[in-house]
Amino acid sequence: MTTATEATSVRTAARVVGAVKVYGSGDTAVRALDGVDVDFAAGRFTAIMGPSGSGKSTLMHCAAGLDTLTSGAAYIGDTELGSLDDRRLTLLRRDRIGFVFQAFNLVPTLTVAENITLPLDLAGGGGDPEWIEALVDVVGLRDRLHHRPSELSGGQQQRVAVARAFAGRPDVVFADEPTGNLDSRSGQEVLGLLGRAVRQMNRTVVMVTHDPVAAAHADEVVFLADGRLVDRMEAPTADLVLDRMKAFEVRS
């Protein structure tokens, strides 16, 4: 049952405040993030969109503790990432964040089952067997568990990476162009999977994409241009997202 308080207070899984990221220095300095404030609500699927070079990957990497901000702050839940030393940051990434990248990054010598539970095994615990079982079914890999990645299609490999990202029930899963290396059908499967993880398994996903069709799978889209947050869109459709992207291109 949901109380009135729960219904109105949205928990934030991740956020950045006044986020500035400058690469390099002097004449060659690039201001990849130029004062971004954004929050990613728990239990939602958010897409980050914007033209190439607008700072999408930088935002994701800084929000996920893979890179540090030049100024401003990044939070996972209530934890400010800048306050953590390297060891605690590594533990936070391991225990509270899942990642999916364009290149599937599976370990070729391990089976599908071993790849899925690798983060948990590295953490020294087996995780929750019932959760892992449910995940294996959601991603549809039950009959591939003892295969190696090289024996799978690209779409199947990315589904393994998705299962691995969710294996430890992280607070948030960050995905950078997860369908970038897939044909459209496999891409749709992976996107459907991310959507089901959010809606049926109460997970949180933040996905970087430049594909309006991919963004339409999200609950909300945030738009970046030139390192700034320029818009947000609830209940996106591919057509609405495409129109919005075209508007940026005309202006820039």
Ligand X SMILES: Nc1ncnc2c1ncn2[C@@H]1O[C@H](COP(=O)(O)OP(=O)(O)OP(=O)(O)O)[C@@H](O)[C@H]1O
Out of 113, 210, 219, 231, the only residue in the binding site for ligand X (CB under 6 A) is 210
Q: Which does residue 24 bind out of Mg ion, ligand X, none, counting CB within 5 to 8 angstroms by kind?
A: ligand X
Q: What angle do CA 221, 226, 230 make, to 5 degrees?
A: 40
209 in contact with Mg ion (CB under 5 A)? no
The two structure tokens encoding residue 237: 């459709």
54 in contact with Mg ion (CB under 5 A)? no
Shortest Å, Cβ 78 to Mg ion: 28
Residue pair 46/220 in contact (Cβ under 8 Å)? The answer is yes
Q: What's the chain's length in residues?
A: 252
179 in contact with ligand X (CB under 6 A)? no
Measured from the CB atom, the residue of 55 and 119 that comes closer to ligand X is 55
The two structure tokens encoding residue 53: 């070079």
225 bridge partner residues: 228
The edge-to-edge listing of strands for the beta sheet with 220-225 is: 97-101, 172-176, 205-208, 45-49, 220-225, 228-234
Shortest Å, Cβ 240 to ligand X: 20
The two structure tokens encoding residue 203: 């997970």
Shortest Å, Cβ 195 to Mg ion: 21
The two structure tokens encoding residue 184: 């459209």
The two structure tokens encoding residue 94: 């391991």
Shortest Å, Cβ 11 to Mg ion: 27
Shortest Å, Cβ 57 to ligand X: 3
Cα torsion for 21, 24, 28, 33, to the nearest 10°?
-10
Q: Of the candidates 153, 168, 64, 171, which has an alpha carbon nearest to the alpha carbon of residue 116?
A: 168
- Stretch in the footprint of ligand X (CB under 6 A) among 24-32, 146-154, 187-195, 231-239: 24-32
Measured from the CB atom, the residue of 66 and 134 that comes closer to ligand X is 66
Q: Which does residue 117 bind out of ligand X, Mg ion, none, counting CB within 5 to 8 angstroms by kind?
A: none
Out of 40, 44, 45, 50, the only residue in the binding site for ligand X (CB under 6 A) is 50
55 in contact with ligand X (CB under 6 A)? yes
Residue pair 141/125 in contact (Cβ under 8 Å)? The answer is no
168 in contact with ligand X (CB under 6 A)? no
Measured from the CB atom, the residue of 30 and 91 that comes closer to ligand X is 30
Out of 46, 54, 57, 209, the only residue in the binding site for Mg ion (CB under 5 A) is 57
Amino acid 50 reads: G
Which residue ranges make up the site for ligand X (CB under 6 A)?
23-24, 30, 32, 50, 52-58, 210
Binding site for Mg ion (CB under 5 A): 57
